[in-house]
Structure 1
Amino acid sequence: MHKVSDADRVVATTHLTRRELDKAYGKERMDTTIRALQDECKCQVFHGVDATALDAFPLGEKSQCLGESQCSFDRVIWNFPCVVPPKKPTGDGRGADGQLAEIQVNKVLLRKFFGSAAQHLRAGGEVHVAHKTKAPFCHWDILKQAREGAHGVLEYQGGVIFDRACYPGYGARKVATGAGSFPTTDAITYVWQKSQLLCCEATQSAEEMMTTQANEVASLRSLRSLSCFLTHSEGPSARSNESA
């Protein structure tokens, strides 16, 4: 497991509550995993978090970014997002994640996630989403959901092969149940970066405002100097403005 320095801050979230995690994966296993995250990675762990509505959860420390207290992360990562399929009658034969009937609801899931994640990124921060590329997952059109969900704030950087060797101990599991894995040989990690244009524009606007204010102060001082030259005295109102 990768150890981080004291300067790093890692936050891990699960959609399942702790009780649901224990039921799906086993309490002893979850105790070991969470303890390792907290002790070795100095990681904050939160359960029952909706990735499509991150504003509703106090995800650790927050910092200012363009006046938004929620813009605090350098990266937001989600591997294999998927809506839990509805339970089917016995004998239906359909229970695998990502069936065609769930395509639309998973598109909505992704759009909402990208919109929420973008609000929690610093300018230049990244969103990483790993997912399978075979049908029906290819029909989710992840790139389109990112564009629409984040309203163009996230710029697509490209994709890299999802290599499980880079994640020692990681295992892909079915949603909610924790039972049964699925192949990831066709998976790709998609990467987006939050545009720095808004940050630059905000900085430029602030600088322009300061320049304008400085010019106004210089103009007022010139007028006061002219008034002093003409009257050989500086009235109370001028002194009051000078103090201001």
Structure 2
Amino acid sequence: MELDVHTMNQHPQLIYRRFDCTIYNFPHAGYLRGSFSSESDKSQILAHKNLVKGYFMSAHQMLCSRGQIHVTHKTKFPFTEWEIVNLAKVAGLYLVEEETFYPWQYPGYVNKRGAGNCDESFRLGMSSTFKFAKY
């Protein structure tokens, strides 16, 4: 099933479902300029922010009343420029907890790229899982 995070709450298989938790590990909007892209480029950061904001807005509609939205994200520059917590606020969510992400705590977890050679993993670096709930 293919999903667009901006409209996933309207997908025919999901429209009437409510979830206790939705999870988006390492969201990424892709590279706007291919191999010439830089994660610190302002337009690249804006594309990422639009992706995450769209996810928050749509996922908010899919939560049960006490549900949570989890986003695992890198916590060093330039990824801090995405301002994940502020994007969540715009969508009517508040930060419940930020927990350091350690992949070894999730047996079998392997991160994969979403573009190019999708079977390759990427360097995680310092990352956290941000847990949000509805106001």
Moved more, 123-132 or 174-183: 174-183
SS at match of 1:158: strand
1:180 aligns with 2:134: no
Alpha carbons of structure 1 residues 159 and 104: separation in structure 2 relative to 1, 3 Å: same
Q: As a proportion of its length, which structure holds more helix?
A: 1
- Residues of 2 paired with 1:146 and 1:110: CA distance? 8
1:194 aligns with 2:129: no
Cα offset, 1:99, TM superposition: 4.1
Alpha carbons of structure 1 residues 113 and 49: separation in structure 2 relative to 1, 3 Å: same
Which structure exhibits the higher relative contact order, with contacts defined as CA atoms closer than 8 Å and separated by 6 or more residues?
2
SS at match of 1:183: coil
The 5 Å alignment of 1:70-85 reads 70=17, 72-85=18-31
Write out per-residue CA displacement over residues 28-50 of structure 1, whole angstroms, 9 at most, x where no aligned residue. xxxxxxxxxxxxxxxxxxx2111
- Residues of 2 paired with 1:102 and 1:52: CA distance? 18
- Residues of 2 paired with 1:59 and 1:77: CA distance? 17
- Residues of 1 paired with 2:25 and 2:97: CA distance? 16
2:9–2:59 Cα contact (<8 Å) kept: no
- Residues of 1 paired with 2:13 and 2:23: CA distance? 14
1:122–1:194 Cα contact (<8 Å) kept: no
1:165 aligns with 2:104: yes
1:174–1:182 Cα contact (<8 Å) kept: yes
- Residues of 1 paired with 2:125 and 2:46: CA distance? 24
Indicate the structure (1 or 2) with the bigger Cα radius of gyration: 1
Write out per-residue CA displacement over residues 149-188 of structure 1, whole angstroms, 9 at most, x where no aligned residue. x1x2x22112001110122222222222215322223010
The 5 Å alignment of 1:103-182 reads 103-148=45-90, 150=91, 152=92, 154-177=93-116, 178-182=118-122
**Please, what is the CA RMSD of the aligned residues?**
2.0
Q: What is the identity percentage for the equivalent residue pairs of Structure 1 and Structure 2?
A: 31
2:31–2:44 Cα contact (<8 Å) kept: yes
The 5 Å alignment of 1:231-242 reads none
Structure 1 counterpart of 2:5: 51
1:162–1:184 Cα contact (<8 Å) kept: no
- TM-score w.r.t. the length of structure 1 is 0.50
Q: As a proportion of its length, which structure holds more strand?
A: 2
Unaligned runs of 5+ in 2: none
- TM-score w.r.t. the length of structure 2 is 0.86
Unaligned runs of 5+ in 1: 1-46, 63-68, 196-244
